[in-house]
Structure formats: C-alpha cells, structure tokens
Amino acid sequence: MSLKDLLSPFFVWQRAFEKPYTTLRPTLDRPGAPAYRGFHINITETCVGCGSCQTICQNNAIDMVAVEAYAGRAGDSGLRPRFDYGRCCWCGLCVDICTAASLRMSNEYAWISDDPDSFHFTAGVDDKPWQDNELGYRRAEGYHLNPPKRIEMPMLSAQESLKSFAEVTLGYNEEQAKKEADRCVECGICVATCPAHMDVPDYIHSIRDGDYEKGLQLMYRTNPFPATCGRICTRRCESVCPVGILGEPVAIRWLKRFIVDQVDKKDYQRILEKPIASTGFKVAIIGAGPGGLSAAYYLRQQGHAVTVYEAQATGGGMLRYGVPSYRLPDAELDKDIDHITSIGVEIKYNSRIGKDVMFESLLENYDAVFMSTGLSVPSSMRINGENHARVLSGLQILADVASDRDPGIGKKVAVIGGGNVAMDAARVSRRLGAEVTILYRRRISDMPADEEEIHECQQEGCTIVPQAIPVEIIDADNKQKVCIKWGEAKMVDDPKGGRARPVLQEDKMHTETYDCIISAIGQSSNLDYLSKELQEQLAFEWGKLTPAEYQHTSMKKVFVGGDFANRTADAISAIEDGHHAARGINRFLNPDFYTALEKQEN
C-alpha cells in the first residue's frame, strides 16, 4: 500500500468545484434531439391509408381504423393508423416505410396522462400536443425500404418502332417481373380504384410466388380481357398507387401483361373455371367490344346461352379498330376473345342490328338484352371548312390500318386533338411515313392522353404544338392538300377552380398547308339501330345514358354498358359494365334465388 494510493483518491474533490453534469428539470431543459424518435405525427391529409405502417410494425402496435373525414376519397382507403403505445417500441419502421411520407415522429418524449385510453390514439386525428412539432425523426433523404424506381419496360427504340407495326413494348422477363412485383405494398387502394375492382395485390403476389396460373385465375374473376388490359389499360390503379407518391407507381399493367404472357393459350381451358350447367335462359348482346364480351363471358359462366351480335367482321370493337397493333397486337386480343368463345359464347359477326337483325326481335326472342355499342362516330369541330375532303377522322384512319386498308394520308399531316385517338392517329401516320404535327388547344400537361403515349409519340418524332386552336379549314391550291388556320392560345386560370381555359389570341394566327388534317377530338355514339321511340324509352341523353343499378335501363329486359353508358369511356370501365350487367341480368333472371339469399343474410 503506497502513500500515492492513499492520497490519489482524494482527487475526487476536484470535481466538486466544477459544473454538475445533470440539469435541474431534465424534460424541460433538454428537448429530444432534432431527429429523436418520439411520439408519432401523421399528416392525415397526405396519408392515403395504405397500411404499410401496420404491415411493417413488428409489435402489431398499429391498427388501421376508419376515419369519417377521409371516407370515400379517391385513392384513399379512408383508414388512418391508430397507435397503441402499450406496444409501440419507437423503432420508426412505420415512418421509414410510409409511402406518402405523411407519418413521422416528433422529438417529444414525455407524456403523462391519467387516462390509459389516451395512449391508444389515431395520430393526426386525435388531438395531441406534439402534432405540430417541427422536429423529430423523418426518413432520411436517400434511404428507402422499397425501391422508388420501377423496372424499366424493355421497348423497341423509336427508330425501330417506326419501321413496322410490331409491338413497341417487349414485356418483362421473369426476373424483372418479380422485382417489380416486389415493390407492391399490398394496400389494395388500387382494387377500390380499378373500375373492374381487379384483385391487383393478389395477382401481383402470385408473380412473386411464381404461380402464374393462379394469377390468371384471379384476373379472370373480374376481367376476361387480361391480355388486352395488360397492354392498353388506362390503369387508374397506377395513378393511385401509394408507391407512386414518392417514387414511381408499381407497374401494375405490365405485371398483368407478364402473367398473361407466361400462360399459353391452350392451357386456359385447363386453368380457368368452366361454365356451370345450362340454365336454359338466353341472352342477346349487341356489340362484341370489351363491354359486350365481358358480359357474354360472365353470363356464360353462369350457365346462360349467350349470343353476341357484331356488325364488324371480327370481334373486339374499339380494341381492334381503335387501338393500333403496335400497342395491342391482334394475337393478344384474339387470345382473350378466343377464350371467351371457347367456353361457348356465340358471336354472330357481320350482323348489324337494325339492318340484319331487328332490335325488336331480340327483345322478343331473348330473356335479356345487353347493349354495348360504344362511341363510334367521330365528333365534329364545327369550324368552317370542316367538310373538306382532306379532313379525315382519326378513328377512320385507325380502322383502316387495322383492316389493312390504306387511309391515304400523304406525307405531311396535322392531327387535331390531345386524346389517345389523336396520339394513335399520329403514331400510325408516322409509321405510314408521314411527317406529323399535333395541334392541341391546351398545354401538353392538360392532354387527356396517356402520359406514356404522349412521350412515345414525341420519341417517334411527332411534333406537338400545344395551345393551338384551329379556327378554320381553307382550301389549298392543290386539291390533294388542305390549309388550316389556327391561333395561339393563352391559358387563363378559372377563378372558380377547375382547369385553366385556353383563350384565343386573335393577333397570333397561323396558316399551314398539309396533305391532310386528321381530326381526333372525340367520339359520340351511333344509335341509328334504335328507333326514336326506343331511344326515348331508354332515356338516351345526347347519345349517352345513365343506367340504373346493375346497368339496368328503364326497359325491363334491357341492360347497357360500355363507353356510351359511362363517363370514363375506357376499356376497363366497359369490362366492368359488362361484368356488372352480367350480375344484374343474373339477378333479373333468378329473382327468387336472390331474394331468398338476401333474406338469409338479413
């Protein structure tokens, strides 16, 4: 024992004359670090209720609960996370996975309450003092628990694609599809948004499992056109996909296509459900487009005898005559239609109602009639000179190309319009070797066409002139040419909200000469096959009508669907109309069964 060892310990007293380490009121004097993982904050306005936080929570501390204020919002499940602080371990994974970046943590860490229920709260809905806290844990920039970028779709190069009408998109391979399928968070918001309510999360799941036959079965439950929709669907699902809020949405459409691509047509019969035994009922369907065939498929599944009347020589309607084959090859459309006919749906081609068969006779001979004749008449611009011979309709050009006819467009064309038909007409014209200018009255961002289509259109060398309002068509010197006069527009904000409106600037007019002008500004229905009385009776309003529940019209036996009976006028809505009408017709044919069922349920 040395003297040093006896005296050295007394150095402890040095510390007595220094500042203490502790603070007097720790929770007040020392707030949590700026990135502290404290109590949860949810910006409920940005939250879409995808439930990823609930999924990732390893302690089941998060429940998604319905919040009145957000019920029924588009692209929103109406649910918000509720936290159980008896279970939460403040790991912050919920913040990391949050697709909308709405969930975050405050740096508040002290909370005293004598009400145990207050530790069970819906962040952002139940009022908590830290809700407006600026600091706290946020997901760091560049940190992801889910890849934000989608797998690029392999595509033909623009030069390559211009050479032929070959399909532009090449489809995912298995590895790509699995990787893309992996990005899905299985929230199901897409299911609610999809007009056909396709079971998206589950068929994506089947890709991850590699069980494509199951995927196909799932798709056929709600959609008998998976090959088609896998290529040209307007995919409203992707626009609400929460993964797309911070990154790119899951490529739902391409995944759907991938499943179909994996299954051979000849296996369809084996994989998919067969119709139930015949019921003896007969249903007539007018129009073999997506709406009509969808109704036909599901009615046939229910055991009814189905006959489809189609004016054209082949089925598919707008899918065949309105969608160019570089987007939807005929073989793929045939894959869908062939399966529908293979289960016993009879399609009578070249049978125009009102000419070959009378509508009234259908009413007489069938137990129910489903009409889905779509929008087949191009709208007119109602400007002077519109009836010029070199003003062609976009729809006509597409139909011509689909039927291998030469539309005779020349070498320099102008396309008027900003919808998908305009883009298709432009791209078809490019493939036919023309130089294409697209005139659109609003901005490119206002175009109703698919963003992808606009992009590809530009890639393929079409010039888009936005804010160009056509005012007059003028004869050119040459009969084979035509002049168009158009004025530049400036966009004026609508004071009542709504989209900005273009206003013509009369001092900025241009006149150009083209070989032809393709007008693609919309379509309307052709109801010539119905007598005036019937049109009146069915309550058509300017070529459209709004059906009652189950697509039922005011006429007892008649159901409608498709573009002329809905607002959205796209394939997937038509398909859902058909499916819905099939359900309605089934109820209509078996009223006793359904009333008994309802009684049982009540």
Amino acid at 515: D
Work out how close the CB of 93 gets to another protein at its nearest, in angstroms, rounded to a whole number.
6
Alpha helices (runs of H) in 48-110, residue ranges in sequence order = 52-56, 93-97
Instruction: Establish if 145 lies at the interface with another protein (CB under 8 A).
Output: yes
Instruction: Establish if 417 lies at the interface with another protein (CB under 8 A).
Output: yes
Q: Please, which residue, 463 or 505, has the CB nearer to another protein?
A: 505
HSE of 37, CA atoms in CB hemisphere, 13 A: 11
Q: Report d(CA 299, CA 281) in Å as an integer.
A: 10
Work out how close the CB of 383 gets to another protein at its nearest, in angstroms, rounded to a whole number.
6
Which of these ranges, 259-267, 339-347, 518-526, 592-600, lies near another protein under the rule CB under 8 A? Answer: 518-526
Which of 119, 188, 202, 208 touches another protein (CB under 8 A)? Answer: 208
Work out how close the CB of 4 gets to another protein at its nearest, in angstroms, rounded to a whole number.
6
Work out how close the CB of 431 gets to another protein at its nearest, in angstroms, rounded to a whole number.
21
Instruction: Establish if 406 lies at the interface with another protein (CB under 8 A).
Output: no
Instruction: Write down the residue that tokens 């393929």 correspond to.
Output: 460
Q: Please, which residue, 37 or 335, has the CB nearer to another protein?
A: 37
Work out how close the CB of 31 gets to another protein at its nearest, in angstroms, rounded to a whole number.
11
Which of 259, 520, 565, 581 touches another protein (CB under 8 A)? Answer: 520
Residue 377's H or E segment, with its range, is: strand 375-378
For the segment 262-321, give every residue that binds another protein (CB under 8 A): none
Instruction: Establish if 182 lies at the interface with another protein (CB under 8 A).
Output: yes
Q: Please, which residue, 440 or 588, has the CB nearer to another protein?
A: 440
Q: Report d(CA 71, CA 49) in Å as an integer.
A: 10
Which of these ranges, 19-27, 285-293, 308-316, 326-334, lies near another protein under the rule CB under 8 A? Answer: 19-27
Tell which residue, 545, 597, 166, 579, has the closest CA to residue 374.
545
Work out how close the CB of 75 gets to another protein at its nearest, in angstroms, rounded to a whole number.
20
Q: Please, which residue, 1 or 313, has the CB nearer to another protein?
A: 1
HSE of 370, CA atoms in CB hemisphere, 13 A: 37
Instruction: Establish if 9 lies at the interface with another protein (CB under 8 A).
Output: yes
Instruction: Establish if 508 lies at the interface with another protein (CB under 8 A).
Output: no
Which of these ranges, 119-127, 300-308, 347-355, 375-383, lies near another protein under the rule CB under 8 A? Answer: 375-383
Q: Please, which residue, 279 or 535, has the CB nearer to another protein?
A: 535
Tokens found for residue 367: 């137990």
Which of 21, 264, 507, 592 touches another protein (CB under 8 A)? Answer: 21
Instruction: Establish if 18 lies at the interface with another protein (CB under 8 A).
Output: yes
Work out how close the CB of 59 gets to another protein at its nearest, in angstroms, rounded to a whole number.
8
For the segment 526-555, give every residue that binds another protein (CB under 8 A): 532, 535-536, 539-543, 545
For another protein (CB under 8 A), the number of binding residues is 93
Q: Please, which residue, 158 or 383, has the CB nearer to another protein?
A: 383
Work out how close the CB of 410 gets to another protein at its nearest, in angstroms, rounded to a whole number.
22
Work out how close the CB of 257 gets to another protein at its nearest, in angstroms, rounded to a whole number.
20
Q: How many CB atoms lie within 10 A of CB 557?
A: 18
The string of DSSP letters for 243-265 reads HHHHSPPP-HHHHHHHHHHHS-G
For the segment 442-501, give every residue that binds another protein (CB under 8 A): 448, 469, 471-472, 492, 494, 498, 501
Tell which residue, 380, 265, 369, has the closest CA to residue 589.
369
Amino acid at 600: Q
CB 138 within 8 A of CB 58: no
Q: How many CB atoms lie within 10 A of CB 524?
A: 16
Q: What own/partner pairs with CB < 8 Å and gap ≥ 24 does 547-556 have? A: 549/584, 550/580, 550/581, 550/583, 550/584, 550/585, 550/587, 550/588, 551/370, 551/577, 551/580, 551/581, 551/584, 552/584, 552/588
Instruction: Establish if 63 lies at the interface with another protein (CB under 8 A).
Output: no
Instruction: Establish if 166 lies at the interface with another protein (CB under 8 A).
Output: no
Instruction: Establish if 564 lies at the interface with another protein (CB under 8 A).
Output: no
Instruction: Establish if 10 lies at the interface with another protein (CB under 8 A).
Output: yes
**What's the per-residue H, E or C state across 159-219?**
HHHHCCCCCCECCCCHHHHHHHHHCCCCCCHHHHHCCCCCCHHHHHHHHHHCCHHHHHHHH
Q: Report d(CA 435, CA 410) in Å as an integer.
A: 9
Q: Please, which residue, 239 or 524, has the CB nearer to another protein?
A: 524
Which of 198, 285, 371, 521 touches another protein (CB under 8 A)? Answer: 521
Alpha helices (runs of H) in 432-473, residue ranges in sequence order = 451-459
Which of 78, 315, 419, 466 touches another protein (CB under 8 A)? Answer: 419
**Phi, psi (deg, nearest 5) at residue 373:** -100, 0
Tell which residue, 594, 443, 411, has the closest CA to residue 513.
411
Sign for the CA dihedral angle at 254, 258, 259, 264 comes to positive
Work out how close the CB of 146 gets to another protein at its nearest, in angstroms, rounded to a whole number.
4
Work out how close the CB of 573 gets to another protein at its nearest, in angstroms, rounded to a whole number.
15
Ramachandran region of residue 90, left (φ > 0), alpha (ψ -120 to 50) or beta?
left
- Do the bridges between strand 468-475 and strand 463-465 make them parallel or antiparallel, or are there none, so unpaired? unpaired
Work out how close the CB of 37 gets to another protein at its nearest, in angstroms, rounded to a whole number.
4
For the segment 89-128, give every residue that binds another protein (CB under 8 A): 89-93, 96-97, 105
Instruction: Establish if 322 lies at the interface with another protein (CB under 8 A).
Output: no
Which of 82, 128, 183, 257 touches another protein (CB under 8 A)? Answer: 183
Q: Please, which residue, 337 or 457, has the CB nearer to another protein?
A: 457
Alpha helices (runs of H) in 467-570, residue ranges in sequence order = 532-537
How far, rounded to the nearest angstrom, does the alpha carbon of residue 426 sit from its chain's CA centroid? 23
Instruction: Establish if 201 lies at the interface with another protein (CB under 8 A).
Output: no
Instruction: Establish if 137 lies at the interface with another protein (CB under 8 A).
Output: yes
Which of 363, 504, 534, 555 touches another protein (CB under 8 A)? Answer: 504
